[in-house]
Amino acid sequence: MARTTLALAVALCVASSVADEDLGMAGDYGDMYGGGDMYGGGDPYGGMGGYGGMEGYGGGGYGGGYGDEYGGGEPSGPAFTMIDDVDGVQKFLDDEATEPAVIGYFNDDTNKEDIEVFESVASSLQYGVRFAYSVEDDVREAYKAAKSGCVVQVYLPPRFFNEKYDTKPKKRFPGKTLKEDALTKFIKKNTLPLVGQKNWKSNEMYDGAGLPVVTLFTAVDLEKNPKGFDYYANRLRRVAIDNIGKLVFNVGDKDDFSYMLEDYDLELPNKKDVGVGIKDGNKHYAMTESFSVDNLRAFTEKVLAGEVEAKIKEEPDYSSSNDYGGEDAEEEDDSDSLVVTVTDDNVGEVLSKDKDVMIEFYAPWCGHCQQLKPTYKKLAAEFDGVDSVVVAAMDATANEVPEGYDVQGYPTIFFAPADGEVVSYDGARDVDSMATFIKTNAKTIKDEL
């Protein structure tokens, strides 16, 4: 019996020889599907109350209010996709090969409570995992779920599944009925491949794994240079296979996460530089030797044995209302900030179509937002005197995110060209990269620069 519940698209992450392994051959994944920060708050920005000599653009910098958790309103769409036919299962799995997926198969008459649990878990994990389910009899039969009535399968990201090291591309939830806590724990435990990609979507899952995270920072471009990623991922796998249950491993783009490198005391200024760090809560460890499988193995063993001194990242004290240690704490002087504060009161004026606007959506408690702060202030200074360019920011926990801006994590940056379509900025978060992006895509400043 078909379920008529209205649901739209999901809202929101091998080698048989050593030679093949080094080329990153992943094997035929498709046939295997078969039937079987919380960082303490405080306003991370300060700055100007207006720009261009105009009043009414904020006052007091980047906000300063506090919100509940992520705030910013409800998610922009359903947390799951409905699958209506047998082909839809494989289509859903193939749609985002770099992200884990969870698919449920339910009897619409007897599994109503299980469906409610599934939808609730999907809502809570939607930013890191893709969810879909089907209540169609032919789909359930094709995937061997017709008799049991309730089957949930968790799929590793196809792109990062490796036949030689990863045991299975999917795992079935063992319960005959669904409980929210049990299903959540099972998903978190089984969505991480032996070695995956570190990105803003997968970060939450890695941080929630409850294990130290080993990250290799290098240049990552899965479209233009997939073998480059696989080269390092396969070397990580040789160490990761011996540390299952002790460590989790990933590869992150060093430019995208340049603001994190200082947490480890890593400096990777050159294009081909590679660095390895281990994060265990607020403890950060940097591998000082050049990267090799043997050096990585020795490094992980020493860290696990407590033989490497950690760099402790001091988190803000958010036990008080001031979130930076009380009223007597020394505050950073943000009086010279050129970043424009966006609020519900001035959002229409700031995001007017006559200027090119780079806007960051942040949360006061977000540690990554804090790290981006000095870079973003420098970016604003880069365009000082260019009246047609605005570098702005909105506290998404204290204000309503405007329509057309899909904010699903912090910080999130968009670029709104004059009289153009809003685009997400997914490039490196350094001044030069962001400034180049603005200059390349701006509609109004070609003659001013």
Query: Closest Cα partner for 8 from 75, 102, 97, 72?
Result: 75
Q: How far is the C-alpha of 64 from the C-alpha of 46, rounded, in Å?
A: 9
- The DSSP string of 347-367 is HHHHT-TTSEEEEEEE-TT-H
What is the pLDDT, as a whole number, of residue 35?
Answer: 34
The pLDDT confidence band at residue 286, using thresholds 50, 70 and 90, is very high
Percent share of the chain, pLDDT over 90: 57
Q: In terms of pLDDT, which residue wins out, 415 or 30?
A: 415
**pLDDT at position 11 over 90:** no
Phi, psi for 232 (deg, rounded to 5): -75, -40
Dump pLDDT digits (tens) for 178-222. Answer: 999 999 999 998 999 999 999 878 887 898 888 999 999 999 999
**pLDDT at position 4 over 50:** no
Range scoring the smallest mean pLDDT among 228-232, 381-385, 405-409:
405-409
Q: In terms of pLDDT, which residue wins out, 77 or 279?
A: 279
What is the pLDDT, as a whole number, of residue 5?
Answer: 34
Dump pLDDT digits (tens) for 421-438. Answer: 899 998 888 999 999 999
* Close Cβ partners of 385 (under 8 Å, ≥ 6 residues apart): none
Query: Closest Cα partner for 272 from 233, 217, 227, 328?
Result: 217
Q: What angle do CA 337, 375, 310 make, to 5 degrees?
A: 125
DSSP state of 30: H
Q: How far is the C-alpha of 234 from the C-alpha of 214, rounded, in Å?
A: 14
Return the CA Rg of the chain. 24
Per DSSP, the three-state class of 243 is coil
Dump pLDDT digits (tens) for 77-135. Answer: 578 999 999 999 999 999 999 999 999 999 999 999 999 999 999 998 887 899 999 99
Q: How far is the C-alpha of 410 from the C-alpha of 397, rounded, in Å?
A: 10
Average pLDDT, the chain: 80
Q: Specify burial of residue 102 (Cβ count, 10 A radius: 0-12, 13-18, 19+).
A: buried
What is the pLDDT, as a whole number, of residue 447?
Answer: 53
**pLDDT at position 248 over 50:** yes
* Close Cβ partners of 446 (under 8 Å, ≥ 6 residues apart): none
- 3-state secondary structure string across 273-334: CCEEEEEECCEEEECCCCCCHHHHHHHHHHHHCCCCCCEECCCCCCCCCCCCCCCCCCCCCC
Q: In terms of pLDDT, which residue wins out, 421 or 55?
A: 421
Which own/partner pairs from 426-434 qualify as long-range (CB within 8 Å, at least 24 positions apart)?
426/256, 427/255, 427/256, 428/253, 428/255, 428/256, 428/258, 429/255, 429/256, 429/258, 429/259, 429/372, 429/375, 430/255, 430/258, 430/375, 431/375, 431/378, 431/379, 431/382, 433/255, 434/358, 434/375, 434/379
Helix crossing, 293-304 with 226-240: angle to 10°?
50
Reading the block at residue 299, the tokens are 């490094």
Q: How far is the C-alpha of 191 from the C-alpha of 182, rounded, in Å?
A: 14
Q: Whole-prediction pTM value?
A: 0.61
Torsion of the alpha carbons at 137, 139, 144 and 145, rounded to the nearest 10: -50
Q: How far is the C-alpha of 10 from the C-alpha of 102, rounded, in Å?
A: 12
Mean pLDDT of 401-423: 89
Identify any residues that bridge with 196 across adjacent strands, giving them in sequence order: 250
What is the pLDDT, as a whole number, of residue 350?
Answer: 94
Mean pLDDT of 230-240: 98
Mean pLDDT of 409-423: 90
Percent share of the chain, pLDDT over 70: 77
Dump pLDDT digits (tens) for 313-324. Answer: 764 433 333 333
